Amino acid sequence: MSDTIEHMFDTLLEEDPGTGSSDVSPDQREQRILDCERVIAQLRALQAQELSILDRQQVATADGARTLIEWCSARFDLAKTTARDLVLAARSEHADINTALADGDITFDRATHTTRLANTGYQDALQTTAGYDIGGLHRVRVSREPLGESDEYDIHQHRSLALQPRLDESHYTGWLTMAGTDAKLVEAALMRRAERLRQALPDGTTLTRGQLLHDSLVDMAADDLAAGTRGAESPGAIISVFIDPAPSDKQARTDRQPVATSPVIRLDNGVRIGPTALQHLLCRGAVIELNADSEVLGIGRAGKAVPPRLKRWVTHRDLGACTIAGCNSTYRLEPHHIIHWENGGETEEENLTTLCWFHHHHHHIAIHRHGFRIDPQSPPQARQFHRKPRSRPPP
Query: Which is higher by pLDDT, 265 or 395?
Result: 265
Are 246 and 258 contacting, i.e. CB atoms less than 8 angstroms apart? no
Q: CA-CA distance, 312 to 83, in Å (whole number)? A: 69
Nearest to 388 by CA among 371, 367, 368: 371
Q: What is the mean pLDDT of residues 256-270?
A: 58
Q: What is the mean pLDDT of residues 202-226?
A: 80
Q: CA-CA distance, 97 to 174, in Å (whole number)? A: 42
pLDDT at residue 225 is higher than 80: no
Query: Which is higher by pLDDT, 293 or 315?
Result: 315
- Residue % of the chain over a pLDDT of 70: 67
Sign of CA dihedral 138, 143, 146, 149: positive
pLDDT for 268: 65
pLDDT at residue 390 is higher than 80: no
Query: Mean pLDDT in the chain?
Result: 77
Q: Is 8 left (phi over 0), alpha (psi -120 to 50) or beta?
A: alpha
pLDDT for 239: 60
Confidence of residue 342 (pLDDT cuts 50, 70, 90): low
Confidence of residue 41 (pLDDT cuts 50, 70, 90): very high
Segment of 19-33, 90-104, 223-237 carrying the highest mean pLDDT: 90-104
pLDDT at residue 95 is higher than 90: yes
Are 69 and 80 contacting, i.e. CB atoms less than 8 angstroms apart? yes
Q: CA-CA distance, 94 to 308, in Å (whole number)? A: 76
Sign of CA dihedral 264, 265, 270, 272: negative
Query: Which is higher by pLDDT, 251 or 347?
Result: 347
Are 100 and 111 contacting, i.e. CB atoms less than 8 angstroms apart? yes
Q: CA-CA distance, 136 to 27, in Å (whole number)? A: 26
Q: Name the residue type at position 24.
A: V
pLDDT for 259: 43
Sequence-distant (6+) residues with CB within 8 A of 125 are: 94, 97, 114, 115, 117, 118
Query: Which is higher by pLDDT, 37 or 254?
Result: 37
pLDDT at residue 302 is higher than 50: no
Q: CA-CA distance, 378 to 323, in Å (whole number)? A: 10
pLDDT for 332: 78
Q: What is the mean pLDDT of residues 227-249?
A: 54
pLDDT at residue 323 is higher than 80: yes
Q: CA-CA distance, 323 to 381, in Å (whole number)? A: 5
Confidence of residue 140 (pLDDT cuts 50, 70, 90): confident
Segment of 287-296, 323-332, 357-366 carrying the highest mean pLDDT: 323-332
pLDDT for 285: 53
pLDDT at residue 298 is higher than 70: no
**pLDDT tens-place string over residues 141-188:** 877 777 777 877 888 889 999 999 887 778 899 999 988 888 888 999
Confidence of residue 120 (pLDDT cuts 50, 70, 90): confident
Number of Cβ within 10 Å of residue 291's Cβ equals 17
pLDDT at residue 234 is higher than 50: no
